[in-house]
Chains A and B, each alone.
Chain A
Amino acid sequence: EADIYQTPRYLVIGTGKKITLECSQTMGHDKMYWYQQDPGMELHLIHYSYGVNSTEKGDLSSESTVSRIRTEHFPLTLESARPSHTSQYLCASTGTSGTDTQYFGPGTRLTVL
């Protein structure tokens, strides 16, 4: 079983609020990822990190930001939420080898009213 956690699992907030989605893993993985999953199921990589103080933007442009101050923690922040941010957000981590399994958290379902 994967040791990767996301909180909250569900969040309903109003437009304009600042929110932070938490992601933590206890596997010592250097590589961590954030995906946005649309209702059609497709996964879009929005941010990733290959270690402390390293962050990169993914394939899908996102208004969110991320930070990586500690190996185990990779939070995602929206400064001003909008209805277009309503989605499922999945965090993942993996080891250093290309053959390593990527582990996913349970996801945060965000609804912005």
Chain B
Amino acid sequence: GNSVTQMEGPVTLSEEAFLTINCTYTATGYPSLFWYVQYPGEGLQLLLKATKADDKGSNKGFEATYRKETTSFHLEKGSVQVSDSAVYFCARRNSGNTPLVFGKGTRLSVIA
């Protein structure tokens, strides 16, 4: 079926630590892939996206590479800050006529 699986949290890191949040997907064809972030008390906002194989999305120091061979889109950041504490959602969309499919979310807490 079509699904998105991301690592379960919560993830707790010290400031300046390296972050990886794993995300894998199953889908037919060539989906577009997204990472969204939700800060406390807010809606989701796009963090980055990649629309074809080998594309790398990047924003605010976060990166993710569309790996078709491993059907993965892992989120990484080299040095996290306290302000990065939030819930992160991986998502995919097969085409313009299908809704986004979200993973279950991963809560990240960064401590000073």
Contact = CB atoms under 8 A, between A and B. Distances in A.
Given A41-B87, A104-B43, A99 B99 contact: no
Given A98-B94, A98-B98, A99-B51, A90 B105 contact: no
B46 A102 contact: yes
Given A58-B99, A90-B44, A97-B96, A42 B104 contact: yes
B45 interface: yes
Interface residues of B, number: 26
Interface string A57-85: 01000000000000000000000000000
A96 interface: yes
B95 interface: yes
B93 interface: yes
A99 B49 contact: yes
A103 B31 CA distance: 18
Contacts of B46: 101-103
- Chain A contact residues, majority secondary structure: loop
B25 interface: no
Contact of A98 (B43, B45, B93, B107): B93
A21 to B, nearest CB: 13
Which size bracket describes the interface of A in this complex?
20 to 34
A96 B96 contact: yes
Nearest to A42: B104
Contacts of A6: 43
Contacts of A43: 44, 89, 102, 105
28 contacts: A40-B104, A41-B38, A41-B107, A42-B102, A43-B44, A43-B89, A43-B105, A45-B99, A90-B44, A92-B44, A96-B96, A97-B96, A98-B32, A98-B51, A98-B95, A99-B93, A100-B96, A101-B46, A101-B49, A102-B46, A102-B100, A104-B36, A104-B43, A104-B44, A104-B45, A105-B43, A107-B42, A107-B43
Given A98-B98, A100-B96, 18 more contacts: A6-B43, A33-B99, A33-B100, A40-B104, A41-B104, A43-B105, A45-B99, A58-B99, A92-B44, A98-B32, A98-B93, A99-B93, A101-B49, A102-B34, A106-B42, A106-B43, A107-B42, A107-B43
